[in-house]
Structure 1
Amino acid sequence: MELMDSIGPLPDINMKLWYLDDGSFVGPRTAVATLLSVLEIKGPLFGLHLNTSKCEVFWPSGDQQFLDFPPEVQRITEVAGGAELLGAPLCGSDAFFAMSVAKRIDKISDCQNRLSDLDDPQVELHLLRSCLGLCKLNHIIRTVPTNKITKELLRFDVNLRHCLESLSRSSISNEVWSQATRPIRLGGLGLREASRSAPAAFLGSCNSSRDLTSRLLLSCSLPFHQSNETSHVEREDQVSEITIPGELDCRSILSTLLPDNQDLQIRKMTQKEIQRLLDVSLSLHIQDSTPSIRDKARLNAISTPHSGSWLRALPNTNLGLVMSREEFLVALRLRLGIAVFPSSPLLVRCPCGQVIDKFGDHVLGCGSGPLRLKRHNALCDILYRYLLVDNAGSRREQCFSSESNDRPGDVFHPDFLQGKAAFFDISVRNSFTNHFINSCSTKAGAAAEAGEVQKDLRYDSDVTSTGASFYPMIVETYGTWSTYSLEIIKVIARKTSVLNKLPVSRIVCNIHEQLAVRLWQYNARMVLDRLHLVCHGE
């Protein structure tokens, strides 16, 4: 840092740390007070204007009036119960830790409770997950032992659950809440519980700082329980095995959340690695404890790659990523397994004559009315636009040949791979029909894979005989794409990236977000259309 370089060596300062414009210094009082004065003088030359009223000085013993420092500098004394650094309690009594974290949670909860004023559940969920969720506490749960703030973390989780109930306009059962706290890639909403994630965060912090802590202890004169004859090598080995206060309690908590033997290597893992173990453990527990075949099929479907892309898509009108309030609420309830049709002792029938179930399974595959075709066409339009970027000769509904009116694909590309023309045929399959629900409960994507085979049998040989390629692209109603379809989307992304210079991974995400939003948007519209009939008795 140029400012510190200009000041020169500071032999009396034992430690100096900077995080952006926040600095922390440890040393004799006179040395730290002198450094503060120098920063006030030289700081403005480098754009750093010191706000002494926000500076804090602390030492756990001795005269705590700190007469060497300007009067506006805050004195952290034993009377206050402890000290904070960068917004997190650093040391003090258990009551001080609890009080400090409680204040932080009160501020977060106040912001969370204001989300409902937006009256836009799509935006509310984005903000709740990305701005007002666990991320607001992460720096605290990485520095404070979990056992000191258990009650405060549970209070945070309760309010987080209340916010989900508010934005979903639904009562959230324990089972639904457990699903919602899973990451999106595992079928949840990404609303992590602080009480469950805190041990992973604290242990990850301990593991990442253990080497630094060991070096600091080796360089100081802190007493050890070894004899005076203990060698430096023996001392270094023992320091490398130090246990940070609160670490054992967190490891004990994690042992109750993880299957046997999975906690053995936690001492070497990062927070992310430990959290992944917790996520997978919770996901397997939910899947194994679900007795319903339908729920098993649903959980399988929403845990597949990119099936939750509509939840990650930032609302953007120009990209077609905005869902109406009603559409998003229906889509959210479908994902969480919450009934979308009112329970009634009387059988409610669809215009096609079939009974409408409370989860809308029949509705999502019903061909009565125009919405199923519109859903299909909306997905085709997205694919067509990306293929058009690669080749202006791409067309919709291209005939098989000049001598035939058969259309084997929804989109035609004249030169897709290896100089061959390509026909792309998109289809949406309902994984909750009687024909597929059992297979989908044991294998995710079973309906999509079966649809792919069916399309190949119907068109592939005829298309390939003309020198073209046939690509069936099958997606299930809850967003599961066949494995082959996922690979084709990657190829389309690679070809598009050559022209627009964006990373392939970003284009893959863009395609899936647009496809997923359109799919769930029309799923919701199909439900809302039938719900109108049910509510009005038509």
Structure 2
Amino acid sequence: MRLILSTDAVATPSPAVLHELREKHPECPPPPTSAPLAPPAAAAPPITAAEVFSAVHTFPRGSAAGPDGLRPQRLLDMVGHKFDDHCLNAWFLDDGTVGGKPATVAHVFGEIIRKAREIGLVVNEAKCELHISGGTEQAQNDAVAFFQELYPKLRILTNTDFLLLGAPVLVEGIGPAVAEKCATVKMACDRLELLPRHHALFLLKNCLGAPKIIYMLRCCNAWKQPQQLYQLDEAMRLCFQTLCNVRTSHDDYPCWRQATLPVSRGGIGIRRAEELALPAFLASIHSVTDLISLLLPDHPAVNISAAFELWKTNARLAELPEHNARKAQRTWDLPLCNASLSVLLDIFRDDEINRARLLAQSTPEAGIWLNALPSAHIGNLLDDDTVKISVGLRLGVSICEAHSCSKCHKPVDVYGHHGLSCAFSAGRHPRHGGLNSILCRSLVSAGIPAKLEPRGTSHTSDRRPDGCTTFAWQRGMCLAWDVTCVDTVAMSHRKATSVTAGSAAQAEDRKRDSFRLANQE
């Protein structure tokens, strides 16, 4: 704030100067505190669209611009034309859709070009698309010739390439759209082969698989075209088979069916388009039902009774989900996944090994490695052989040829389960030591000194835990841990693990009993 300016410098902020300012600019008296409060204003009456249009029509011709820069004359021009009652005129930002009779659409399109030119914009006719529907073949040809004469650069669409934001609008366009997705998957597979297998599997599952097709499945009734979706699923299967170096086929139903389940249901997460199509469509149609009713109040409701019946059949349920939960795709998808898991368990009813494996893989902890970010910097990146073996063990596919163990001379089947429980296996001790090392390093990185295999922890027994903290953890006692690695499909555990997942972990309870005396000391 400038106080008082002189010819050469700013005035000095002295008491005399402040007194002079107060005389020239006296203080405003404070507002009265005893004034009665004004009564609350009544709620404004609602304004209808008809009232808005009526007010716009009252604008005089050539009205000047308002504070927002929008000339009332333009509003008057926009609502002043009398178009066909059945004309569709829908816009979102700079993307518009105009529909109606050929003469009406041509007139509206011409008005758009003229109005855009007035504000310095140019409509690119080469990016505008025209689709003719209804009428006889001769009428359609006449309409195309009419528009090509007016706008020669306009792109004419057929029923197969009529897309809206990448999704087919008509049933005839589903096949070409799926074929394009298949070509994209094949191209992605060729490029993913150049990456480490763990990176490639992560990208296929989370980026290039279901996320690439979910929008198309939600925007059209692709669930009515299972043969078209089968081609896309086959392309995904071949890509998965190549990247993970495991053999899967549609003839081997349990293997490929399990791979396409979510990770939380024992699968790999490579979802099938044929299975996702129905839940995606049902969730999408329920999400927009209210909006459709507002935009088109006189339009009849979409008949999706056939989709409901198909979903109840596939999900093995007699009732549909609650109305307030039907907008979520998960609500429609999980019952189908649970039904597929039940089918697999029924197939393995008399197979203890595969049933125990499937129950164990469907637990939340068993699939964490599939959702972890494959980064070498944080120690989560698996080598190619480890990815192959991990996927093979999870799906129960062949990972080796049948042979005899070179250590214990026991037979080894094609599934490689013997190495998980062999007393001379080279993988048991590294797996056990790796878990202990992770726990120890985690404690040390948190500022808690710890050591592995401490001696002298018990005076009455030679047993010792796998590790413990150097200083007291709680109540003057150190924290000790002991890792137990069990084999779910071992001969001694199959009977229990084929009934209840996690039954093999009861070995931990027996180990706790052996350390109970040491804990008391």
Equivalent residue for 1:15, pick from 70, 90, 93: 90
Contact 1:97/1:148 (<8 A) preserved:
no
1:20-49 Cα distance to aligned partner (Å, 9 max, x none): xx73444775556555677789799xxxx9
CA shift, 1:425, in A, is: 1.4
Equivalent residue runs for 1:72-91 within 5 Å: 72=153, 74-76=155-157, 79=158, 83-91=162-170
CA shift, 1:262, in A, is: 4.1
Alignment match, 1:97: 173
TM-score, L = length of structure 2: 0.71
Alignment match, 2:415: 359
Farther off after superposition, 175-184 or 395-404: 395-404
Distance 1:40 1:57, change over 3 A: farther
Do structure 1's residue 56 and structure 2's residue 129 form an aligned pair?
A: yes
Contact 2:179/2:232 (<8 A) preserved:
no
Distance 1:90 1:369, change over 3 A: closer
Contact 2:262/2:270 (<8 A) preserved:
yes
2:149 and 2:361 map into 1 onto residues whose CA distance is 62
Contact 2:436/2:466 (<8 A) preserved:
no
Alignment match, 2:497: 440
Alignment match, 2:21: none
Contact 2:452/2:467 (<8 A) preserved:
yes
CA shift, 1:90, in A, is: 2.1
Contact 1:394/1:411 (<8 A) preserved:
yes
* SS of match in other structure, 2:219: coil
Alignment match, 1:277: 335
Instruction: For 2:400, give the aligned amino acid.
Output: F
Do structure 1's residue 396 and structure 2's residue 483 form an aligned pair?
A: no
Equivalent residue for 2:233, pick from 157, 162, 166: 157
2:70 and 2:152 map into 1 onto residues whose CA distance is 24
1:440 and 1:353 map into 2 onto residues whose CA distance is 26
Equivalent residue runs for 1:411-426 within 5 Å: 411-412=468-469, 414=471, 416=473, 421-426=478-483
Do structure 1's residue 330 and structure 2's residue 389 form an aligned pair?
A: yes
* SS of match in other structure, 2:483: strand
2:361 and 2:281 map into 1 onto residues whose CA distance is 30
* SS of match in other structure, 1:298: helix
1:156 and 1:6 map into 2 onto residues whose CA distance is 51
1:402 and 1:147 map into 2 onto residues whose CA distance is 65
- Give the structure with higher Rg (CA): 2
1:446-480 Cα distance to aligned partner (Å, 9 max, x none): 111x12211211113422x35xxxxxxxxxxxxxx
Distance 1:40 1:85, change over 3 A: farther
Contact 2:457/2:518 (<8 A) preserved:
no
* SS of match in other structure, 2:281: helix
Do structure 1's residue 127 and structure 2's residue 203 form an aligned pair?
A: yes
Q: Gaps (5+ residues) in structure 2?
A: 1-67, 80-87, 135-139
1:356-400 Cα distance to aligned partner (Å, 9 max, x none): 233222211223155322211111111222222333323333345
* SS of match in other structure, 1:15: strand
1:123-148 Cα distance to aligned partner (Å, 9 max, x none): 33222222222221111111211355
Alignment match, 1:478: none
1:214 and 1:413 map into 2 onto residues whose CA distance is 68
Distance 1:423 1:266, change over 3 A: same
Equivalent residue runs for 1:134-149 within 5 Å: 134-146=210-222, 148-149=224-225
1:365 and 1:81 map into 2 onto residues whose CA distance is 57
Equivalent residue runs for 1:384-533 within 5 Å: 384-399=440-455, 401=457, 407-412=464-469, 414=471, 416=473, 421-448=478-505, 450-463=506-519, 465-466=520-521
Q: Gaps (5+ residues) in structure 1?
A: 223-238, 467-538
Contact 2:193/2:200 (<8 A) preserved:
no
1:208-264 Cα distance to aligned partner (Å, 9 max, x none): 11111111121x6x6xxxxxxxxxxxxxxxx6xx224xx233223323312140446
1:413-461 Cα distance to aligned partner (Å, 9 max, x none): 645567753112112111222221110111111111x122112111134
Equivalent residue for 1:168, pick from 241, 244, 249: 244
1:107 and 1:43 map into 2 onto residues whose CA distance is 41
CA shift, 1:85, in A, is: 0.9
Alignment match, 1:317: 376
CA shift, 1:66, in A, is: 5.0
Farther off after superposition, 56-65 or 196-205: 56-65
Equivalent residue runs for 1:27-46 within 5 Å: 29=105
Contact 2:197/2:387 (<8 A) preserved:
yes
Contact 2:174/2:222 (<8 A) preserved:
no
2:247 and 2:282 map into 1 onto residues whose CA distance is 34
Instruction: For 2:91, give the aligned amino acid.
Output: K
Instruction: For 1:388, give the aligned amino acid.
Output: V
1:146-165 Cα distance to aligned partner (Å, 9 max, x none): 35533211111122222233
- CA-atom RMSD in angstroms: 3.5
Do structure 1's residue 303 and structure 2's residue 303 form an aligned pair?
A: no
Contact 1:133/1:191 (<8 A) preserved:
yes
1:51 and 1:410 map into 2 onto residues whose CA distance is 72
Distance 1:167 1:73, change over 3 A: same
Identity %: 24
Contact 2:345/2:355 (<8 A) preserved:
yes
Q: How many equivalent pairs are there?
A: 423
CA shift, 1:410, in A, is: 2.2
1:326-357 Cα distance to aligned partner (Å, 9 max, x none): 2211221111111333136xxx1341343323
Flag the structure with more relative contact order, 1 or 2, with Cα contacts below 8 A and sequence separation at least 6: 1
CA shift, 1:285, in A, is: 1.2
CA shift, 1:166, in A, is: 2.3
Contact 1:43/1:50 (<8 A) preserved:
no
TM-score, L = length of structure 1: 0.69
Equivalent residue for 1:379, pick from 435, 439, 450: 435
Contact 1:294/1:441 (<8 A) preserved:
yes
Alignment match, 1:185: 264
